[in-house]
């Protein structure tokens, strides 16, 4: 079995694969001050609760966009699972050719998504990931990672709206019936929801033009993807587990060197 770990700025997602099958996954919030022992306790109890024998885990792969957390998860893996984990970064085989000016600058999650999506759907494609930030990644038909766009995420945009305006308050991120809101909550929902639908479609359309390839497939992932993509014109498919799938594929590409 393989343990995949995706460290985002809001959540850490753990997945357990048996071969190509994702057996189960868990989401815990990202706290910068957690130690290897705390991660060890959390993970061991989640694994036990799922009725999985942790000794069956033979590999661990980590993708992280929070550098301070990575060493604690590496230590956890060594201490509690007895496994030296693979950490996605320089020196790891991904098969993708990163065209960023400085390849080290790209978030590991974006590369993992690109590898997972290309493997599943082929290129050319665009991946939209609704996380703390919303990322857009362009991948060519011959597996070049071309770059993309980073927009403020839905959660943090909504939070900024009510934090900075005295009479606004927290509202649920949901699709309101009408874009012309007749109370504060539905007006905020209209601005957030339909504004974000427009942001996604507009960026995707511009990226497609700039890529200059035909039949660009568009896949979206992340917690709020299905909500927003119920209204977008440009997203072809919502695939919630794309990042974990990318991690599994990268692990397999590197397995012989572990
Ligand atoms: N399954 C979900 N359903 C609804 N909202 C979600 C879900 N997962 C994450 N979110 C929301 O999406 C935002 C980003 O979360 P996440 O995708 O975990 O980001 P990151 O990868 O940056 O940690 C947060 O505001 C979170 O509350
Ligand atoms: C853009 C991100 C903050 C997205 O992270 P997330 O929303 O998944 O927490 C992350 O991929 C990152 O820190 N990237 C480094 C900058 C770059 O990709 O250019
Ligand atoms: K992410």
CATH number at residue 180: 3.30.420.40
Residues 9, 148: Cα–Cα separation, whole Å: 19
Residues 37 and 136 in one domain: no
| Chain center to CA of 200 | 16
Sequence-distant (≥ 6) Cβ neighbours of residue 83 within 8 angstroms? 57, 58, 59, 60, 77
Establish if 252 belongs to a structural domain: no
Residues 143 and 226 in one domain: yes
- Candidates 109, 83, 94, 86; CA nearest to 13 is 109
Establish if 92 belongs to a structural domain: no
| Overall size of the chain counted in residues | 258
ipTM: 0.93
Residues 104 and 231 in one domain: yes
Structural domain ending residue among the three candidates 87, 108, 124: 87
For the CA of 100, the closest atom of ligand 2 is 19
pLDDT in the model for residue 258: 57
pLDDT in the model for residue 188: 98
Half-sphere exposure of 166 (CA within 13 A, CB side): 0
Establish if 251 belongs to a structural domain: no
- State the distance from the centre of ligand 2 to the C-alpha of 118, rounded, in angstroms: 19
7, 9, 11, best to mutate for ligand 1 pocket (most atoms within 8 Å of CB): 11
Residues 32 and 131 in one domain: no
93 phi-psi bin (left φ>0, alpha ψ -120 to 50, beta other): beta
Task: State which residues form the domain around 190.
Answer: 97-246
Residues 78 and 117 in one domain: no
β-strand pairing of 217-221 with 125-130:
parallel
Establish if 196 belongs to a structural domain: yes
Residues 258, 251: Cα–Cα separation, whole Å: 9
Per-residue H/E/C for 122-162: CCCEEEEEECCEEEEEEECCCCEEEEEEEEECHHHHHHHHH
Residue nearest to atom 18 of ligand 1 (CA): 11
> In which residue are the tokens 């009408």 written?
178
Establish if 254 belongs to a structural domain: no
Structural domain ending residue among the three candidates 87, 121, 139: 87
What's 103's DSSP letter? G
Residues 66 and 150 in one domain: no
59-91 core/surface letters (b: 16 or more CB in 10 A; e: else)? bbbbbbbbeebbebbbbbbeebbebebbbbeee
Active site residue 109: yes
For the chain, 258 residues long, give each residue's pLDDT as a single digit of tens: 999 999 999 999 999 999 999 999 999 999 999 999 999 999 999 999 999 999 999 999 999 999 999 999 999 999 999 999 999 999 999 999 999 999 999 999 999 999 999 999 999 999 999 999 999 999 999 999 999 999 999 999 999 999 999 999 999 999 999 999 999 999 999 999 999 999 999 999 999 999 999 999 999 999 899 999 999 999 999 999 999 999 999 999 998 765
* CB distance 157 to ligand 1 below 6 Å: no
Residues 138 and 168 in one domain: yes
For the CA of 9, the closest atom of ligand 2 is 9
What value, to the nearest 5°, has the Cα angle with vertex 8 and ends 65 and 207? 75
> Are the CB atoms for 3 and 23 separated by under 8 Å?
no
Residues 55 and 143 in one domain: no
Residue nearest to atom 8 of ligand 1 (CA): 223
Residues 102 and 225 in one domain: yes
How many structural domains are present in the chain?
2
For the CA of 155, the closest atom of ligand 1 is 25
Sequence-distant (≥ 6) Cβ neighbours of residue 28 within 8 angstroms? 11, 12, 14, 42
Establish if 37 belongs to a structural domain: yes
- φ, ψ dihedrals at 32, nearest 5°: -65, -20
pLDDT in the model for residue 256: 72
What's 32's DSSP letter? T
Residues 239 and 112 in one domain: yes
> Are the CB atoms for 135 and 145 separated by under 8 Å?
no
Establish if 201 belongs to a structural domain: yes
* Bridge partner residues of 218 (DSSP): 126
- State the distance from the centre of ligand 3 to the C-alpha of 169, rounded, in angstroms: 26
134, 151, 196, 223, best to mutate for ligand 1 pocket (most atoms within 8 Å of CB): 223
Element containing residue 115 per DSSP (H, E)? helix 108-121
> Alpha helices, DSSP H only, in 212-241?
225-229
Residues 102 and 208 in one domain: yes
Residues 171 and 234 in one domain: yes
Structural domain ending residue among the three candidates 67, 87, 107: 87
């Amino acid at each position: 079995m393989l343990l995949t770990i995706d460290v985002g700025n809001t959540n850490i997602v753990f997945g357990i694969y048996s071969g190509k099958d994702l057996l189960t996954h868990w989401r815990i919030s990202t706290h910068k001050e957690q130690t290897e022992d705390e991660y060890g306790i959390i993970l061991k109890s989640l694994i036990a609760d799922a009725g999985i024998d942790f000794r069956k885990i033979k590999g661990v792969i980590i993708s992280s966009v929070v550098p301070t957390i990575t060493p604690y998860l590496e230590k956890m893996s060594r201490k509690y699972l007895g496994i030296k984990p693979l950490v996605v970064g320089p020196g790891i085989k991904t098969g993708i050719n990163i065209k960023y000016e400085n390849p080290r600058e790209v978030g590991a999650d974006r590369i993992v998504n690109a590898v997972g999506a290309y493997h599943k759907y082929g290129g050319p494609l665009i991946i939209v990931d609704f996380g703390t930030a919303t990322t857009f990644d362009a991948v060519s038909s011959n597996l070049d990672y071309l770059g993309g766009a980073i927009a403020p995420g839905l959660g943090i945009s909504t939070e900024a709206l009510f934090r900075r305006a005295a009479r606004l308050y927290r509202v649920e991120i949901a699709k309101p019936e009408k874009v012309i809101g007749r109370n504060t909550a539905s007006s905020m929902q209209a601005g957030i929801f339909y504004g974000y639908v427009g942001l996604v479609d507009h960026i995707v359309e511009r990226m497609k033009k700039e890529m200059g390839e035909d039949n660009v497939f568009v896949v979206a992932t992340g917690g709020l993807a299905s909500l927003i993509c119920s209204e977008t014109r440009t997203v072809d498919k919502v695939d919630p587990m794309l990042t974990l799938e990318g991690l599994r594929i990268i692990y397999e590409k590197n397995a012989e060197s572990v």
